[in-house]
């Protein structure tokens, strides 16, 4: 971990769900790697954003309780249920990360790490894929290639 945090060539991927990493670890990673090298990612399974209940993952039973997905038979973490909007909200609310920097960590930084030139920012010639959030961080709308996506469930905004 120390090598990744101190190597300017490395983009540090952070699952900011409070389960995979303790908030103090996220804070430490952000402080060490900085806004330009920290990428918010999810390890999301199909239950992401859907709430507590029973699900399957690769044919295995998963129980989601209090937003945490665990294998029913072993209790091991079975992925995350956090959305990137929730990761951004947690970063701002719980860690004091500026909104613009948190949004960059969920968009521009991961796109650059993957060398995707057509996503990650709203610029001429790019796809105009975006998520619009309310001031409290709940989901308002989703656009794909500049067109609204219908049927997108509202964010719970509780994590």
Whether 43 is catalytic: yes
pLDDT of residue 153: 59
User: Shortest CA distance to 43 belongs to which of 18, 73, 20?
Assistant: 20
* Catalytic residue (choose from 8, 36, 43, 129): 43
Percent of the chain with pLDDT over 90: 56
Interatomic CA distance for residues 27 and 145, integer angstroms: 33
Confidence of residue 131 (pLDDT cuts 50, 70, 90): confident
Sheet holding 130-133, edge to edge: 130-133, 139-144, 147-148
What are φ and ψ of residue 18, in 5° steps?
A: 80, 0
User: pLDDT tens, 57-92?
Assistant: 999 999 999 989 999 999 999 999 998 888 999 999
Q: Which of 16-25, 42-51, 130-139 has the lowest mean pLDDT?
A: 130-139
Give, in words, the CATH class of 2-42+82-148. Answer: alpha beta
Q: Where are the domains of the chain?
A: 2-42+82-148, 44-81
d(CA 32, CA 42) in angstroms, rounded, equals: 20
Q: What is the spatial distance between Cα 24 and Cα 155, in angstroms, rounded to a whole number?
A: 25
Q: Is a pLDDT exceeding 90 seen at residue 138?
A: no
């Amino acid at each position: 971990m120390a090598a990744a945090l101190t190597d300017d060539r490395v983009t540090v991927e952070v699952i900011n769900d409070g389960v995979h990493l303790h908030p103090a670890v996220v804070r430490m990673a952000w402080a060490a790697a900085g806004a330009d090298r920290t990428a918010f990612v999810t390890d999301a399974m199909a239950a992401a954003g859907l709430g507590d209940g029973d699900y399957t993952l690769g044919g295995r039973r998963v129980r989601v309780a209090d937003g945490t997905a665990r294998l029913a038979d072993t209790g091991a973490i079975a992925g995350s249920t956090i959305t990137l909007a929730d990761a951004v909200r947690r970063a701002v609310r719980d860690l004091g990360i500026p909104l613009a920097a948190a949004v960059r960590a969920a968009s521009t930084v991961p796109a650059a790490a993957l060398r995707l030139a057509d996503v990650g920012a709203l610029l001429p010639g790019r796809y105009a894929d975006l998520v619009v959030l309310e001031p409290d961080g709940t989901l308002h709308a989703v656009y794909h290639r500049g067109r609204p996506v219908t049927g997108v469930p509202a964010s719970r905004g509780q994590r």
